[in-house]
Amino acid sequence: MNFFKLIVCCFLAFSIQGFAEEPDEGIPADTIALKEVQISAQRIDHFSTGLKVSSIEKVLMDEYKTQSLAELLAMHSQIFIKSYSNGGVTSPSTRGSGANHTAVLWNGFNLQDPMNGMTNLSHIPISFIDEIVIQQGGSGALFGSGALGGAIHLNSNTPYNKGLEINTHHKYGSFQSIFNAFNINYSNSKFSSSTRLFKHTSKNNYEYKNMATINRQTENLANASYQRFGLLQSLKYKINNSQEVSFNGWYQNSFNELPSTMLNVNPGEEEQKDELIRLTAGWRRLGEQSTTTVRTAYLTGKNSYTNPTFNDTTNNQTNSLIAEIEQKFQLGNNHLINLGVNETYETASSENYGGDKYRNRISFFTSYKIFNLKNTFSSTLSFRNEIIDNATTPITYSLGIKANIFDWMTVTSNFAKNYRIPTFNELYWGNWGNPDLEPEKGFSEDIGLTLQKKYSVNHFRLNITAFNSNIDNWIIWVPDHSVWTPKNVQKVWSRGMESSLLYQITMTKLKIRFTASYNYTRTTNETNNTLNNKQLIYVPLHQYNWGISAHYKLFDIKYNESYTGRRYTSENNQQYVDAFTLGNVQLGMKINTSIIKGKLTFSVNNIWNKSYQVMAWYPMPLRNYAIQLSLNFNHK
């Protein structure tokens, strides 16, 4: 019962976020990760043993400060990013899973929309984010419903003791894309404040070749402009050596015109407005043997969709109130235990539901980790049980192992049971929502091998991971007499491998870096019908990225290429969207004066001028250009 009192308390309290943590076991870093990051969502640090986890390097994040998470992940991750036009609505698909199967957590709070389970990655500016950790594979026991295919962990976390720091980021690009961001940070040894603003507008009226018309003529994309504005305020205060309180407030509004597909000869007229407020507060006490974290969040999202053709306006609003308390303690030198409870109250109001809908979710979670002194071996066992409006869901669990066989070789393995509870749309949409839906559930297994060697100037790392995942009760909309209704009818089997390679040479003035990754994802429908054994739509079988960069003194040049294989658009695999390869080139110059530091970058995107689509008949831009300037002023 004490837990519940604490939950109530923490609504009033403030708190948390990344101190220098106890030295962690280190994220089994992948290509894109160079340095271990101190991520404040501590569960991923300490209890993700055996999961495939990689963090996005800070240098790479700096290059994307004027862009969104969607653009960064599309070029530099093994997640397939579904994009419905440049800068438009975007959702992630990890290991062949659906758009609502990848949890996006910000400072540990799940941002998935309770109505549709999705997160629009175009609405997450990199300038608001300080750390990104990508985790491929299910992790329901650690992160709850929604993390069925994977999770993206984002943190906004500014350090102490930096004095006054001003960062600005500016971009001017093709299609009148204008981005400006201002970050003002101030911190001393006890207090840290970060204020960040951004505004992004784009006409987005790019040219494309319309392959669906009789003359295949070149057209300009119509009704595709967007504008976004956001404000983020973060505050942290150290009460004493062991306690910290923190607060984050994120406001953002955006307006997107929604272009029509190439198949429609008339320009689109639809548009969408989104407005969100995210408030989080936390308190953390770091002891010698134990850490207590209490935190709470209020997440709200409003969106309004207009379709003038049908004189249709839809307004939706969601609210989530989340409170979480977590206690971690070490027993002796080899055992770490975590106990926690999460309380989430979600509401949604939409004209498409019969009145306001809400639900109360309580999850109990625990992890036990055993490790040796040198931290060359560790294993974690985790459990979670979620109770929704007094009805329990099946207990989920995971077991992970990590072993450093040699100092240059690490083996990881993980077994997990995962789940996803139905979204409000699936439960209540119109007359067709199905309130009797059960959670989706699945098992996933993976095994990974990392080889890593650092010499004086060379650094080499190779990771190969094989995975398997079986999902049952997968919810799809199926016809039932004359209406469509969601049902727990699909079985999906996803298996494949992911590999990544890094090779880097660092000399005094010159640094050369080569990265590559390849994914093979076979995701098939295992429902016993005519679609049995067919690849799910929009899951590319093959995907790869590679990049090479050279840094010489203040200058650098980079080339990155990303290949996405054929994606089926019909369930019987008769129709598909062609594979595409994108190449981007960047030329950068550092600015290094005593007062101001920064970087000027010139980029050419889609340098091979390829006509391509990510989603069927939504055109993407041909070759385009951008010039970017980042400035940093620091006064201690």
Contact positions vs other proteins (CB under 8 A): 211-214, 216, 261, 263-266, 309-310, 351-354, 430-432, 478-479, 482, 484, 530-531, 537, 569-572, 574-575, 615-617
Give the shortest CB-269-to-other proteins separation in angstroms: 10
Is the Cβ of residue 40 or residue 85 nearer to other proteins in the bound state? Answer: 85
Give the shortest CB-317-to-other proteins separation in angstroms: 15
Reference 416, options 434, 398, 404, 440; nearest CA is 398
Give the shortest CB-15-to-other proteins separation in angstroms: 41
Is the Cβ of residue 82 or residue 236 nearer to other proteins in the bound state? Answer: 82
Reference 43, options 91, 83, 122, 103; nearest CA is 103
Is the Cβ of residue 268 or residue 340 nearer to other proteins in the bound state? Answer: 268
Strand partners, 20: none
Contact present, 153 and 139 (Cβ < 8 Å): no
Is the Cβ of residue 33 or residue 577 nearer to other proteins in the bound state? Answer: 577
Give the shortest CB-179-to-other proteins separation in angstroms: 31
Is the Cβ of residue 243 or residue 261 nearer to other proteins in the bound state? Answer: 261
C-alpha span between 186 and 190 (Å, rounded) = 11
- DSSP letter at 535? B
The H-or-E segment that residue 58 falls in is: helix 58-63
Task: Enumerate the H helices of 92-175 as residue ranges.
Answer: 140-143
Is the Cβ of residue 211 or residue 627 nearer to other proteins in the bound state? Answer: 211
**Exposure string for 90-118, b = 16+ CB within 10 A, e = fewer:** bbbbbbbbbbbbbbbbbbbbbbbbbbbbb
Contact present, 346 and 319 (Cβ < 8 Å): yes
Give the shortest CB-458-to-other proteins separation in angstroms: 47
Give the shortest CB-214-to-other proteins separation in angstroms: 5
CA distances from 214 to 217, 262, 265 (A): 8, 12, 11
What is the DSSP annotation of 185-234? EEE-SSEEEEEEEEEEEE----EEE-TTSTT--EEE--S--EEEEEEEEE
**Exposure string for 56-80, b = 16+ CB within 10 A, e = fewer:** bbeebbbbbbbbbbbbbbbbbbbbb
Give the shortest CB-627-to-other proteins separation in angstroms: 36
Is the Cβ of residue 265 or residue 557 nearer to other proteins in the bound state? Answer: 265
Is the Cβ of residue 9 or residue 489 nearer to other proteins in the bound state? Answer: 489
Is the Cβ of residue 385 or residue 569 nearer to other proteins in the bound state? Answer: 569
Give the shortest CB-12-to-other proteins separation in angstroms: 38
C-alpha span between 533 and 493 (Å, rounded) = 9
Structure tokens at 48: 């993700």
| HSE-CB for 544 with a 13 A CA cutoff | 10
Contact present, 629 and 181 (Cβ < 8 Å): no
Give the shortest CB-203-to-other proteins separation in angstroms: 23
Is the Cβ of residue 315 or residue 504 nearer to other proteins in the bound state? Answer: 315
Give the shortest CB-312-to-other proteins separation in angstroms: 10
Strand partners, 463: 450, 500
Is the Cβ of residue 360 or residue 572 nearer to other proteins in the bound state? Answer: 572
Q: From the CB of residue 306, how many other CB atoms can be counted at a distance below 10 Å? A: 17
527 SS3 class: coil
Reference 302, options 320, 321, 319, 316; nearest CA is 316
Contacts of 137 (CB under 8 A, 6+ apart): 51, 52, 94, 95, 149, 150, 414, 416, 444, 446, 467, 469
Give the shortest CB-521-to-other proteins separation in angstroms: 20
Structure tokens at 580: 């595409």
- DSSP letter at 571? T
Contact present, 420 and 455 (Cβ < 8 Å): no
Contact present, 198 and 229 (Cβ < 8 Å): yes
CA distances from 484 to 282, 350, 426, 479 (A): 43, 19, 11, 4
C-alpha span between 335 and 378 (Å, rounded) = 10
Is the Cβ of residue 295 or residue 534 nearer to other proteins in the bound state? Answer: 534
Give the shortest CB-388-to-other proteins separation in angstroms: 22
First-to-final CA distance of the chain: 47
Is the Cβ of residue 100 or residue 183 nearer to other proteins in the bound state? Answer: 100
Is the Cβ of residue 365 or residue 429 nearer to other proteins in the bound state? Answer: 429
Q: From the CB of residue 125, how many other CB atoms can be counted at a distance below 10 Å? A: 24
Is the Cβ of residue 28 or residue 565 nearer to other proteins in the bound state? Answer: 565
Give the shortest CB-479-to-other proteins separation in angstroms: 4
Give the shortest CB-432-to-other proteins separation in angstroms: 7
Give the shortest CB-104-to-other proteins separation in angstroms: 24
Give the shortest CB-212-to-other proteins separation in angstroms: 5
Is the Cβ of residue 265 or residue 507 nearer to other proteins in the bound state? Answer: 265
